Structure 1
Amino acid sequence: MVFKKIGFIGIGVMGQSMASHLMKAGYEVIVYNRTKEKAMSIIEEGAKWKDSVAEVAEAAEVIITIVGYPHDVQEVYLGEAGLLNNAKPGTYFIDMTTSKPSLAQQIFEEAKKRKMFALDAPVSGGDIGAKEARLAIMVGGEEEVFTELLPIFEKIGKNIILQGGPGAGQYTKMCNQMAIATGMIGICEALAYAKKAGLSPEKVLQTIETGAAGSWSLSNLAPKIIAGNFEPGFYVKHFIKDMTIALESAEEMGLLTPGLKLAKELYEKLAELGEENSGTHALYKLYR
């Protein structure tokens, strides 16, 4: 199937770049954002603005959502003025928000009742991955639907894997966030230790990022820490949300996650200091 009209709801740090890539690929992109001012740049590029979620639902064949919190996802999809109550049968939905696996499964079932199709497809790679169209996309849902939408995913990401049925994308994203959470503690402690020891953080980074300690976070966020740049590629407040979902999910499974629990406590302390809108690498400020 060849799609022409893509709805995009949530023009934030990452959504802006993702929608732009889709337009450059030749799709007609129809956008809605809670704050229109934040969408003005993409509108000036040629995106068509709609005044509500319902209007996007009526106009698009495929609708991508990347909003803030699970309650936002619930409102956008399941609310009276939401997508499922206003879209046409045959519409495809891709929720790229990091949200609850159980909510992804609920949206899938409600869409199916209406002869619509839904995938949960959270992403990783931050603002840099979004700008360079090389996001990791972890997908949950039916294989046939995934195959239909793969050409769209390929315009915004590089590592695109169907992880399983509905909710599997969200479960995979929780694995991703767990690894990042404890990894960021290690990065911040290593840089703080290097400074205390009188070393050059730049030289230390040059050495350790090519060895066993290497990671995306180390190569992309440690330089920002060293430069004192704590602008968000991903907000502290949203990371706390993700860790909360992961902890709740782990508890439901009966799995102990002490590293994740510690990371969440540290990030909550950071938010209390007024850093909730900083990037996740601002955790370093607790050590400074």
Structure 2
Amino acid sequence: MSKKVGIIGLGAMGSGAARRLVEKGFDVAVFDVRAEQIEALSACAPASSPADLAAKSDIILAFLPYSHQVEKVALGANGVIEGARPGSIFVNMSTSAPSTTQRIAEVLGEKQIAVVGAPMNGGPHLALSGELALVVGGEDDAVETCRPVLSCLGEIRHVGGVGAGEVVKIINNLLLAICTTANAEALVLGVKAGIDPDKLVDAIVHGVGSNHAMRKQYQQHVLKGDFGENDLFSVDFMRKDLALALDLGKELKVPLMYGAMADQMYQATQAKGRSANYHPVVVTLLEELVGVEVRSKNK
């Protein structure tokens, strides 16, 4: 089992993963364009570029927000392609376009560098505790080689070849957006009709309309008015992932009507200046429109 792991991108998720892997006994090299992020991980070996990091690593994990950033660190100047050895593996942990990971796999494959996509479900605290849900796409041999590393970060579901993990993650987030906006509509209706918000949410959680977004986001955050700008999944990131879903639907000629409506609600939330807030803040659009709040009386 390889003990040399490199991590590119030291935001909340990448930093959490680095700490987790060090705790599990891996030799971890790290790179980020922000020097202070590298310095904060004193137990890790610093790298001066993605190429330098790749030269020190057998398995390279990229934790980056956008598809173009992943492609740049993999294939650009001073990128992974310039430092990685034949037999090493590049793992895209980001929620990005399936075509990005497939294109990277095609180019790196010419140098005998395998590529795996392993986008994550879960927040930074789950990266630290090793409880992420990873949807993985890649060739069987490459996935098995990565398994000792990835299994330290969470539960693995191998869903197909290169790009399949990104497709499944995009679909997950499409459903999350649709559920979150539908929940907003339903709860505002109930509160406007005079139902106590706590009792309304509790009844739905224990009824046929229950869903993850209702149990986690609404019960734990919306009722408390907790839409803070922190490490939670923001409106901007939700719109980024909805764009990936809508683009995939357009490419495959699959109409995504509910997804398009959810995207419009999030776009309107951005227009209200709430781009950086936790994404269930979308409920405030309807609250302000009809003059009620879905808030606990005990918050």
Q: Normalised by the size of structure 1, how large is the TM-score? A: 0.92
Instruction: Report what 1:287 is aligned to.
Output: 286
Instruction: Report what 1:255 is aligned to.
Output: 254
Instruction: Report what 1:142 is aligned to.
Output: 139
**Residue among 28, 51, 54 paired with 1:54:** 51
Instruction: Report what 1:101 is aligned to.
Output: 98
Instruction: Report what 2:152 is aligned to.
Output: 155
Other structure's SS at 2:78 match: coil
What's the Cα RMSD here? 1.7
**Deviation (angstroms), 1:230:** 1.1
1:59-70 alignment, distance < 5 Å = 59-70=56-67
**Residue among 227, 230, 233 paired with 2:227:** 230
Q: Any unmatched runs of 5+ in structure 2? A: 288-299
What amino acid sits opposite 1:137 in the alignment? Answer: L
**Deviation (angstroms), 1:35:** 2.0
* Structure 1 contact 10–67 (Cα < 8 Å) conserved: yes
Instruction: Report what 1:36 is aligned to.
Output: 35
The answer to whether the aligner puts 1:191 opposite 2:187 as a matched pair is yes
1:263-274 alignment, distance < 5 Å = 263-274=262-273
CA distance in 2, matches of 1:151, 1:34: 28
What amino acid sits opposite 1:184 in the alignment? Answer: T
Instruction: Report what 1:112 is aligned to.
Output: 109
**Deviation (angstroms), 1:48:** 2.4
1:143-179 CA-to-partner distances (Å, cap 9, x unmatched) read 1111111121111112x11111111111111211111
Identical positions, percent = 29
**Deviation (angstroms), 1:128:** 4.7
Q: Tell me whether 19-28 or 48-57 shows the greater mean CA deviation.
A: 48-57
Count of residues in Structure 1 that have an aligned counterpart in Structure 2: 284
CA distance in 2, matches of 1:151, 1:254: 38
Larger Rg: 2
CA distance in 1, matches of 2:37, 2:23: 20
* Structure 2 contact 20–129 (Cα < 8 Å) conserved: no
Q: Any unmatched runs of 5+ in structure 1? A: none
Instruction: Report what 2:293 is aligned to.
Output: none
The answer to whether the aligner puts 1:71 opposite 2:65 as a matched pair is no
* Structure 2 contact 235–270 (Cα < 8 Å) conserved: yes
